[in-house]
């Protein structure tokens, strides 16, 4: 009986185990099914994502598929190449990495042409590059009204008299005109009105707000200044005097009226002053507008010319523009005052230093030029570009401006001899090899180690892009350290910041690119500038380094035209 009872207990335990086994098996099968479905969904999601991945080609036969942050809106990067030395690190660090947006990197093989040079981006900065996108975009956001912030300028000017710069021609000519306007405001003791600017006619010529061309806050820290809107309110939407820098066309004055929404050509008779010494406005087509009544200076005894016709002594300027009228337009300034200052200097005043009205040109003009800088968003963006492309290493910058359609359009006409005629003749003979040989020879003569300049940036009009690319190719043959150009600046800007511009209401993308390119040139260690171009000449004053002894020293600069001409003459045997 005992044996039978033991048998029954054993059979019950067996049945219990079998029953539990079926439960466990069901549970295992269910989990396996859920896992399989999850893998299928994940695989399909990854396949959909991979369709949108762009290829980033490193050296050594491998490439990374870019995470979402590198997928551009309108253009493909296609040029973010890590160096061969970085490749192992790249594979270890970024293989199958999951980024913040959930996308992953993947690796695969790709054959590259033998001896193809890598284009570079610092892997150690790549994560920082990605994570800083939102922060950088804030730089481009529409700023609060800068004029609501009270600032104490270093130089206080008369707050009852004003000077509005009526700027003309291209963007860099406008900056020169602004420098001259600030200088005149200081000499005449008039508060500056910060003007509106215009884009270059080749990119639409639209109106540009001051904050999108210059660092307004920096300028206001330097000198007393007000906004155009405040000026219009103070002056009841009308100028009451024109200070002429040169004779102008009526259409130019109409443009000023359109920009400012203020009357110039026909002002209220009650505003017309009878100050001794005023003259009628001198315009080239007066017969088209016979009833102009606004007073103008200088008096008729002065001859207005395109070349400098006024010296910079304070008393000379005050005599030419001897008016107490409140709302003044300074019309068409551009190198019409002979300012006695060394070319190409920009030095800030110390925080405690003030300029007297009788200070020297060197003191005043160098501080004026230093006060006009590019917008903070542009400067910060170029710093990001330098980190990504040049690894924050020193680089050579070249400005090759000489296309015969725009720059040479008026200068190089065979039927119109001028001071540029010989230069035009020589430029037609210069090849990319001449430019490259000139750069290489100049840096060697300056005893710059070849390993010190691995990066070359060439700024040129789009029509000369192939010429610029050939210059880099020749430099790579001359100096084995020179790397392929990294991400093109325009691609970098468009891929990374285009949504920021729309959000911040930046109105002209090409204008942003030109400002950024000037900043790249300004921050270079070695600069080959283009004589005859205000694009280059406006970069040069800002290329001063402050040394430990608090003195300033000019960075390396050479005329790209001169060094290329010398190489061409050596090649051809000309003298």
Indicate whether 209 and 256 sit together in one domain.
Answer: yes
Residue 260 forms part of a structural domain: yes
Instruction: Please state the φ and ψ torsions of residue 529, each to the nearest 5 degrees.
Output: -90, 165
Tell me the three state secondary structure of residue 466: helix
User: Do 298 and 429 fall within a single domain?
Assistant: no
Question: Using the 8-state DSSP alphabet, how is residue 482 labeled?
Answer: P
Work out the number of other CB atoms within 10 angstroms of the CB of residue 484.
Answer: 17
Q: Is 214 in the same domain as 352?
A: yes
* Residues lower than pLDDT 50 in the chain: 8-9, 14-15, 17-18, 45-127, 130-131
pLDDT in tens, 424-463: 999 999 999 999 999 999 999 999 999 999 999 999 999 9
Is 163 within the bounds of a domain? yes
Residue 140 lies in a domain: no
Number of domains in the chain: 4
* Residues 60 and 47 occupy one common structural domain: no
Asked whether residue 136 is assigned to any structural domain, the reply reads: no
Residues 317 and 381 in one domain: no
Whole-number pLDDT of residue 346: 82
Note the pLDDT of residue 83: 32
Q: Is residue 290 part of a domain?
A: yes
Q: Where is the domain boundary, 371, 389, 418?
A: 371
pLDDT at site 140: 84
Asked if the structure places residue 145 within a domain, the reply is no
Pair 116, 232 in one domain = no
The rounded distance, in Å, linking the Cα atoms of 369 and 222 is 11
Residue 44 confidence (pLDDT):
53
- Domain of 119, in residue numbers: 55-128
Report which secondary-structure segment, H or E, holds 558: strand 556-559
Out of 28, 51, 74, pick the residue that ends a domain: 51
DSSP state of 150: -
pLDDT at 506: 86
Task: Check residue 91 and give its pLDDT.
Answer: 31
**Residue 450's CATH number:** 3.40.50
Last-in-domain residue among 371, 389, 419 = 371
C-alpha–C-alpha distance, residues 196 and 260, integer Å: 8
In a domain, 510, yes or no: yes
Say if 431 falls within a structural domain. yes
Q: Mark whether 344 and 296 lie in a shared domain.
A: yes
- Same domain, residue pair 258 and 346: yes
In this structure, the answer to whether residues 359 and 397 fall within a common structural domain is: no
Tell me, what's the pLDDT at 134?
Answer: 54
Same domain assignment for residues 363 and 385: no
Nearest Cα neighbor of 69 from 95, 108, 103 is 103
Judgement on whether residues 531 and 446 belong to the same structural domain of the protein: yes
Tens-digit pLDDT profile for residues 459-482: 999 999 999 999 999 999 999 999
**Environment class of residue 351 by beta-carbon count within 10 Å: exposed (0-12), middle (13-18) or buried (19+)?**
exposed
Answer yes or no: do 416 and 489 share one domain. yes
């Amino acid at each position: 009986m005992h044996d039978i009872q033991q048998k029954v207990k054993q059979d019950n335990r067996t049945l219990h185990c079998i029953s539990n086994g079926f439960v466990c098996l069901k549970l295992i099968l269910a989990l396996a099914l859920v896992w399989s479905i999850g893998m299928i969904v994940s695989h399909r999601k990854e396949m959909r994502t991979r369709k949108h991945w762009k290829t980033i080609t490193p050296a050594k036969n491998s490439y990374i598929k870019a995470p979402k942050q590198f997928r551009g809106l309108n253009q493909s990067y296609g040029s973010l190449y890590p160096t061969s030395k970085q490749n192992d690190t790249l594979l270890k660090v970024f293989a199958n990495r999951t980024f913040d947006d959930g996308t992953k990197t993947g690796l695969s093989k790709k054959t590259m042409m033998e001896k193809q040079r890598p284009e570079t981006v610092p892997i150690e900065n790549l994560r920082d590059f990605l994570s800083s996108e939102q922060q950088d975009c804030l730089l481009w956001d529409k700023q609060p009204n800068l004029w609501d912030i009270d600032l104490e300028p270093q130089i206080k000017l008369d707050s009852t008299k004003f000077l509005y710069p009526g700027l003309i021609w291209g963007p860099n000519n406008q900056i020169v005109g602004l420098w001259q306007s600030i200088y005149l405001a200081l000499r005449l003791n008039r508060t500056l009105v910060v003007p509106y600017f215009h884009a270059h006619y080749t990119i639409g010529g639209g109106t540009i707000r001051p904050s999108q061309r210059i660092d307004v806050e920096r300028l206001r820290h330097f000198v007393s200044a007000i906004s155009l809107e405040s000026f219009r309110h103070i002056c009841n939407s009308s100028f009451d005097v024109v200070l002429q820098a040169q004779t102008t066309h009526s259409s130019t004055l109409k443009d000023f009226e359109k920009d400012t929404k203020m009357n110039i050509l026909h002002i209220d008779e009650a505003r017309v002053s009878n100050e001794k010494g005023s003259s009628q406005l001198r315009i080239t087509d007066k017969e088209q507008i016979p009833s102009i009544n606004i007073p103008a200076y200088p008096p008729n005894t002065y001859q207005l010319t395109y070349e400098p016709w006024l010296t910079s002594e304070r008393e000379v300027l005050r005599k030419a523009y001897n008016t107490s009228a409140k709302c003044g337009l300074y019309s068409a300034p551009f190198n019409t005052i002979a300012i006695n200052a060394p070319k190409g200097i920009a030095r800030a005043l110390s925080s405690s230093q003030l300029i007297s009205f009788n200070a020297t040109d060197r003191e005043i003009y160098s501080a004026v030029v230093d006060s006009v800088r590019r917008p903070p968003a542009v400067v910060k963006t170029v710093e990001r570009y330098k980190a990504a492309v040049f690894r924050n290493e020193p680089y050579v910058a070249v400005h090759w401006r000489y296309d015969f359609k725009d720059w040479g359009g008026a200068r190089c006409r065979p039927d119109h001899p001028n001071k540029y005629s010989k230069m035009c003749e020589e430029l037609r003979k210069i090849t990319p090899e001449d430019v490259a040989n000139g750069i290489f020879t100049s840096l060697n003569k300056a005893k710059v180690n070849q390993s010190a300049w691995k990066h070359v940036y060439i700024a040129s009009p789009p029509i000369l892009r192939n010429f610029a690319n050939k210059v880099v190719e020749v430099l790579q043959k001359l100096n084995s350290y020179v790397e392929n150009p990294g991400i093109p600046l325009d691609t970098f800007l468009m891929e990374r910041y285009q949504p920021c511009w729309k959000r911040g209401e930046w109105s002209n993308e090409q204008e942003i690119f030109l400002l950024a390119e000037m900043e790249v040139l300004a921050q270079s260690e070695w600069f080959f500038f283009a004589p005859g171009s205000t694009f280059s000449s406006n970069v040069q004053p800002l290329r001063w380094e402050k040394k430990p002894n608090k003195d300033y020293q000019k960075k390396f600069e050479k005329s790209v035209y001169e060094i290329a001409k010398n190489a061409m003459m050596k090649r051809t045997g000309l003298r």
